[in-house]
A and B are shown apart, each in its own frame.
Chain A
């Protein structure tokens, strides 16, 4: 079966208040060791994945573009050595606007990173500052132009909506600016407050209001409307693409295809087993340098777990779940109220249904 490779780069120039990813600012000096460790881990893991066709590679973070082009070039070249990466595999790198310029982007494209996923987040200065993002709307436009200039034909922009101070109108302007740039792919995420983040603590102590779910719902509907008008296809709860530009790698997660994760805190999945690397970069380095796999934990999915995952992941994408999996009486009310639709024997959530996916999943599997 076709599989994906994920590489995690945990370094950032600064840490954003809302982010709960495994990312660190100020650990840049570990980068050379970290790159060596990625090579070593690929060497250790590769043989386990012999025979798996790799159809996608995704280098994410953190901020992968904090690494040197030479290092990133080396990493991808090595992955091709250690894994059976298909010639037409989708190869994505994440970057944020302030860490890329034409020179760097040209190098990345030449190295084989043909898809660029850029964290734009917003075109509203106030929203960017509420998110503690250091870049400006101008730098997004500049970085995007640079990518086009060097020949990038597959660019995705990430957006976040519902931050403190953002109105439906300003979100509309962000969407229009995004559409004007005409990226091939757009991810738009409702801001989620994670309790363990600086923003989470501010919300808990009442310094910052929590996002209003109704306003976020309005923003979601606005995104659905504007992006669809602009020719984007809504293929997952938070993802839109021009036809043919759906993200192969991320679809792998939702279609429950196997994937191997390299780097600190990266997750892997195959044959109803999930495992994950230790999160702290230092611990990851120590283990890999000692020649051991840096696995920090694992779980085996029981058939009921697998079923629940299958249902909620399939419902996230337009594929939906086969109607035969669900008792008709459970689906009936949602078909009636327009949260679900039936397409060729599959139950597919409508856009309104996508917003209420947790409820749908619980009702259909309960």
Chain B
């Protein structure tokens, strides 16, 4: 155990691609954490990839040893998830630190995620060490960026460090600044143990591994522990640190960061934000503050393309859940898509990751309904929680509806400010404030319904600003909104998978676009097929797919008969992939295409 005065716990917060991983590499080298021959690019990220395949556990926090001024220091570099879906997880990681390096690309300047992370770090009471990266780039504008950053954190631009993680320039000075500016952790060995879980993972051989920061007391390597929020006791098997490979230690003392093999097998029992203490009479009285249950924000129905794959999908979700505490799912039956699951995700990125893993790792072909948020329907003082648009009650049967709203931060070049404001206004945004970071760049804050953000917002933002604007948001709460359910009917039959909850003013427009899209996707049948969009019993849009009149081979003589039979057999196979909605045959592909919301999620590093 290191004396707390020689410990520094810090993290690096940065916008995507501002060089966090490369800086971590330099720090590993500088502190000789990795032998030169073992060094490879993005060292920590690659360990993370391995973990995904279940081979090892990720280095969520790496211990670096560094000597300066005759003293040996233990530096714990704690990784923070870099995505808006994981704001709560970020906040817990920050909770494990006393300081944060705020890293900004000298060519790009401050971005939305820089700001969001800065605010989170500041709110967590962290000391900020501002630094510019990539000063070696010819297009770097360190002076301008330093002014921007200095203004942001209230520092003299002169005090903003300048580094090149690529060449190593300024990295030693950065390390010295961390030791000098970031305060050592507090906490006494004599107090009852309280350790904060800031992440966890599942190892197929060792069960659930918690990543934690000891706040008070001592965590021995083998001990009977209690998880205070889960109210669970367990025999912990091993405590250790990442140096950067997992290394067992005898104990973790106050201020130290490491891992604990919890002895538990279910990742849901080891919750981010929970407090670990010693079981029995030595246990702490109060948990550490700030614990929150993981809460899905985005919902989508997942259905196997092949109906027979329902069991495989259920098994795959059960398996994924072992290592993903935030994943939520309940069986759902759709009249159009059959048996599947309504799944809850932290956000769009989380949703994409889960879908991709289901398809890639489990070989499933999926149909996903368009993502939706959670609605709160209020009826005579009672709140009905709706995760599935097709379950939204009909208008007139309830008092009001509330929807989740976010506080969005957008940074854009000033020249695109107009289009950005237009976009936010068109998405029911409420402008909170706006300021210029420099004459060229503006920062805008908006209240925006989350439902608008998950519908193609990021793509629109990027296309209106030629890719220059950045977006971050945090959840704000639930607000009343005039929302209605729009149903889509095929030949008079509602297709539950196409139902959507949208703002009343946009309902007709949404209905029209859906109906037009479907008109292109539904093949002609033996009868006219009406495609309608309806709010309650009111039809707001209608198109017709005219009946098919001709489907026959004109000639069929001697040699054609074999060919014709094979053609029919092929059509028969194609027919097996059709889904029946009432009397209408709808190809799988039509569902997939109609439900696709083309968008990329903000900050997704993929």
Contacts and interface: CB of A to CB of B under 8 A. Distances in A.
A314 to B, nearest CB: 12
Contacts of B154: none
A365 B568 CA distance: 10
A355 B567 CA distance: 16
B556 A253 contact: yes
B548 A312 contact: no
Contact of A361 (B546, B557, B558, B568): B568
Contacts of B527: 337
Interface stretch (B250-258, B269-277, B569-577): B569-577
A312 B550 CA distance: 15
A167 interface: no
Nearest to B557: A253
B561 interface: yes
Contacts of B546: 214
B558 A356 contact: no
B549 A6 contact: no
Contact of A312 (B526, B555, B559, B565): B565
Contact of B554 (A237, A250, A366): A237
Contact of A355 (B551, B556, B557, B568): B551
Per DSSP, chain B at the interface is loop
A238 B558 contact: no
Interface string A307-332: 01100110010000000000000000
A308 B561 CA distance: 11
A247 B564 CA distance: 21
Interface stretch (A74-82, A226-234, A259-267): A259-267
Given A192-B553, A192-B554, A359 B548 contact: yes
Interface in B305-362: none
Contact of B575 (A190, A238, A366): A366
B561 A313 contact: yes
A98 B566 CA distance: 36
A305 B568 CA distance: 10
Contact of B568 (A191, A352, A362): A362
A152 interface: no
Contact of B551 (A299, A305, A358): A358
A245 to B, nearest CB: 18
B550 A308 contact: no
Interface in B356-385: none
Contacts of A354: 552
Nearest to A220: B550
Contact of A339 (B526, B550, B562, B571): B526
B552 A358 contact: yes
A169 to B, nearest CB: 19
Contacts of A67: none
B491 to A, nearest CB: 13
Nearest to A352: B549
A355 to B, nearest CB: 5
B90 to A, nearest CB: 53
Interface string A124-150: 000000000000000000000000000
Interface string A208-232: 0000011011001000000000000
Nearest to B558: A267
Contact of A362 (B549, B555, B565, B572): B572
Contacts of A36: none
Contacts of B565: 305, 308-309, 312
A265 B552 contact: no
Contacts of B564: 312
Interface centre among B549, B559, B567, B571 (most CB of A within 10 A): B559
Interface in A66-103: none
A357 B556 CA distance: 12
A6 B558 contact: yes
A140 B526 CA distance: 38
Contact of A254 (B556, B567, B572): B556
Nearest to B562: A274
Interface string A327-357: 0000000000101000000000000101111
A250 B560 CA distance: 12
A189 B548 CA distance: 18
A214 B554 contact: no
A265 B560 CA distance: 12
Contact of B569 (A216, A308, A339): A308
Given A238-B555, A253-B558, A362-B575, A213 B568 contact: no
Contact of B558 (A192, A217, A259, A352): A259
Given A313-B561, A337-B526, A362-B568, A356 B548 contact: yes
A328 B450 CA distance: 52
A358 B558 contact: no
Nearest to A189: B554
A216 B556 contact: no
A334 to B, nearest CB: 8
B552 A366 contact: no
Contact of B561 (A237, A309, A352, A357): A309
A313 B551 contact: no
Contacts of B557: 250, 253
Contacts of A216: 550
A357 B554 CA distance: 10
A171 interface: no
B265 to A, nearest CB: 48
Interface in B386-427: none
A269 to B, nearest CB: 7
A123 interface: no
A284 interface: no
A11 interface: no
Contacts of A365: 572
A113 interface: no
Contacts of B555: 189, 192, 238
A358 B568 contact: yes
Given A312-B564, A339-B526, A359-B526, A267 B559 contact: yes
Given A312-B568, A362-B571, A214 B559 contact: no
A366 B568 CA distance: 11
A355 B558 contact: no
Nearest to B559: A267
Nearest to B551: A358
Closest 7 CB pairs of A and B: A217-B549, A267-B559, A357-B552, A189-B554, A267-B558, A213-B550, A190-B554
Given A6-B558, A361-B568, 12 more contacts: A213-B551, A214-B549, A237-B556, A312-B568, A313-B556, A313-B561, A352-B549, A356-B549, A356-B551, A357-B551, A358-B553, A362-B575
19 contacts: A217-B550, A253-B557, A253-B561, A267-B559, A267-B561, A267-B562, A269-B561, A299-B562, A312-B568, A313-B561, A337-B527, A352-B549, A356-B549, A357-B552, A358-B553, A359-B526, A361-B568, A362-B571, A362-B572
